[in-house]
Structure 1
Amino acid sequence: MNRRELVLAALAASGGATHTPVQIQKLLFLLERTVPQHVGGQKFSFQAFDYGPFDPSVYKEIEQLEKTGLARIDRTQYPSMKTFALTLTGQEQGEIALQQLPADVQDYFRRVSQWVRSLSFANLVSAIYHAYPDMKVNSVFNG
């Protein structure tokens, strides 16, 4: 699975839902950390940042998907924050990428996607810090 396929599969696992920046960063971080053998190893270089694991190339990858009509970046929902989702074509391609994985891993992608989207910003960042204390080292977040 290449980086593009990983992002497509991760976003497709939501069934069309949108993701905030913190949600997509933490989703991809968790998938890389917890099932590396199924995603083909490390695709991003997550570093401990202000709010935990962060790699700006996540956004670059989604911007490339947007340029090819596979992703939608909404810059209007919140004044200072973008949200990310797949287009219909992107969802179809993401489902294809997701189906390349074993059934239990597909289910895991869906569960992790649901989990990151179910938590508030503070609860998500806190949960990541609890599970991965190394990602708290440069934090500006005290929650």
Structure 2
Amino acid sequence: MHRKLLPMVLLDACGGDEIEGRTRLQKLVFLMEQELGEQLDVLLDGSDYNFIAYDYGPFSKQLYDDLEYLDDAGLIEMEEEDMANGKIKFTYRPTDKGQKWVQHQLSDQNAQEAQSLAEDLKSEYNGMLLSDLIDEVYAEYPKFAENSVW
């Protein structure tokens, strides 16, 4: 399987509710990779996101590229909203096609475990203030706070 499974199972978790914000989605996928640990190599054939320490903690350019790909393939919807502060807020949700794709992947036991983890992470962190999520990630993984502007 490919690393695109991680954001897809996250977006599909808990009935396919949306995830607001690029930074939040980055942190949730990062936490999935950390929680999966060695199992990640088996699940994704060694194709992880190679997160680096960046402005708001763990960051992966490959994840942005994969999200663009998933949007272009019709597996997710990626909405952009102009904010009053001049920034853009991104919102991500799976499409029906994307949800069917995830269900097809769940025939694999490792994918089922990734989905279970995604449901737990999304339940715990998706409703949390972004600042609290970033603080939790920094507390648990201080190496990724090294280049932070936070």
RMSD value, Cα? 2.0
Q: Which stretch of the first structure deviates more once superposed, 104-113 or 129-138?
A: 104-113
Q: In 2 relative to 1, CA 119–42 (structure 1 residues): closer, same or farther, beyond 3 Å? A: farther
Q: Which amino acid letter does the alignment assign opposite residue 93 of structure 1?
A: W
TM-score by length of 1: 0.86
Asked if the contact 1:12/1:98 (under 8 Å) is kept, the reply is no
State the SS of the aligned residue for 1:43: coil
**Which residue does 2:126 correspond to in 1?**
117
Residue equivalent to 1:93: 101
What corresponds to 1:28 in structure 2?
A: 29
Q: Distance in 2 between matches of 1:11 and 1:77?
A: 22
Equivalent position of 1:81 in the other structure: 89
- Kindly state the Cα deviation for residue 42 of structure 1 after the two structures are TM-superposed: 4.8
1:60 is matched with which residue? 65
| CA separation of 1:97 and 1:126: change in aligned 2, threshold 3 A | same
Percent identity over the alignment? 28
| TM-score normalised by the chain length of structure 2 | 0.83
Q: Are 1:48 and 1:134, in contact at CA under 8 Å, matched by a contact in 2? A: yes
Per-residue CA deviations over 1:77-108 (Å, capped at 9, x if unaligned) read 75611111111111121233245235555322
Which shifted more, 84-93 or 95-104? 95-104
- Consecutive unaligned residues of structure 2, counting only runs of 5 or more, are none
Aligned residues, how many?
A: 141
